Structure 1
Amino acid sequence: MTSSTINPESSNTFASTIRGHTVTGRAHSLSAWFVLSLRLMMGWAFAYSGFTKIVAAEPFDAGGYLEFSAATNGNPLAGLFAWMGSTPWFVEFANVAVPWGELLIGLGLLVGAVVRLAAFFGALMMLMFYFGNWDIAHGVINGDFAYMLVFLAVAAFGAGRILGLDAYIEQYEVGGEPLVEKYPALDYILG
């Protein structure tokens, strides 16, 4: 069982319990600025990366990367990547999903809309890049893994509520009730 709470005595104190183990923390008053910075940094990086792939002179092609790059350095998912690279429909899917996914994830983060959903897909892409770029010569933690954690932190801290559209979307009233109160599942994609 997982639970998270905010201490009403101090809005900067938070706690989370997973399987009977509780961790607590206290955020610094500048934490919101750092979370916003992480959201904007990842938003810009992904939007720029996706945009440059979309407008490039040569169309984006993931086939060679999928088929050959992951087969190096003892990648535990080399067979899966080889299958993806040798499966025409999957390569065509990746050729659209990667650049447009990067652009849409980036734009969502930049404007602070559907941030948790964008961050989830950003983390998923970074996990795939982590295995696709497999190299543990300097340990199992690399830039792709670190970026995956940044996306997860952006989602966990509800970074879309910090100078983002999610703060307004959540409060939009439907039948006199704020959207996230009427549809609590939206809390998993907004914030």
Structure 2
Amino acid sequence: MIQWLRNNRTAAIILTILRVYLGYTWLMAGIGKVTGGFETNGFLNGAIGKAEGAHPAVQNWWAVFLETVALPNHELFTFVVMWGEVLVGLGLIVGLFTNAAALGGIIMNFAFLFSGTTSTNPQMVLLTIFVLIAGLNAGKYGLDRWVLPLLQKQVVVIKNRRLAHQ
């Protein structure tokens, strides 16, 4: 299964569809936040409140992180969430730095899940796992097809220059 995801042309086509779907979902969520006056303060306080009671939806260690790190820096977290969603969405849609975009997306999905928000996050995590396992094949029909080889050539040129100067 893993080899099929990583090497098969049909898998690359299916992954492109999954990638674009995930990207569109992230992009729309991010644009909604950028244009809608999004603020994390209320969300963070709500998540911290879900750590109480007999059956808390948020684990204590995560609530401590939210209360001591995220809440005092809620402006930064607001910026990171809004623009992170937009950038993850764009990266997945056009297939540019696909693996990095998918990793950023799944990290946000887990942060939302840890905060007691289910929504579409479990579904997005599951689909993103396939994109991450597929590696380069997930971006085969995207900008990664051209950009990554160019970057790889630049890295080789830089390494060769360093070796020549030693």
> After superposition, where does 1:40-189 map in structure 2 within 5 Å?
40-56=20-36, 59-72=37-50, 73-78=55-60, 80-81=62-63, 84-85=66-67, 88-133=71-116, 143-157=120-134, 158-172=136-150, 178-179=153-154
Structure 1, unmatched stretches of 5+, are 1-11, 15-23, 136-141, 184-191
Q: Distance in 1 between matches of 2:107 and 2:94?
A: 20
User: Which of 11, 34, 37 in structure 2 is aligned with 1:31?
Assistant: 11
Q: Identify which of structures 1 and 2 has the higher relative contact order when contacts are C-alpha pairs closer than 8 Å and 6+ apart.
A: 2
Quickly say closer, same or farther: Cα 1:119–1:165, change in 2 above 3 A: same
Partner SS state of residue 47, structure 1: helix
Percentage of identical aligned residues:
22
Which amino acid letter does the alignment assign opposite residue 80 of structure 1? W
Structure 2, unmatched stretches of 5+, are 159-166
1:169: Cα distance to partner?
Answer: 1.1
Partner SS state of residue 41, structure 1: helix
Q: Deviations over 1:101-128 (max 9, x none)?
A: 0000000111111111111110000001
Q: Which has the higher strand share?
A: 1
1:31: Cα distance to partner?
Answer: 2.0
Residues 71 and 79 in structure 1, CA contact (< 8 A), matched pair in contact too: no
Q: Distance in 1 between matches of 2:153 and 2:141?
A: 19
Q: Distance in 1 between matches of 2:74 and 2:40?
A: 6
1:99: Cα distance to partner?
Answer: 0.8
TM-score normalised by L of structure 1? 0.66
Partner SS state of residue 178, structure 1: helix
Quickly say closer, same or farther: Cα 1:116–1:53, change in 2 above 3 A: same
- Across the two proteins, how many residue pairs are aligned to each other? 153
Q: Distance in 2 between matches of 1:26 and 1:44?
A: 23
Q: Which residue of 2 aligns with 1:18?
A: none
Partner SS state of residue 133, structure 1: coil
Quickly say closer, same or farther: Cα 1:74–1:102, change in 2 above 3 A: same
1:133: Cα distance to partner?
Answer: 2.3
TM-score normalised by L of structure 2? 0.74
Stretch deviating more after TM superposition (150-159 or 104-113): 150-159
Q: Which has the higher helix share?
A: 2
Give the root-mean-square deviation of aligned CA atoms: 3.2
1:76: Cα distance to partner?
Answer: 4.3
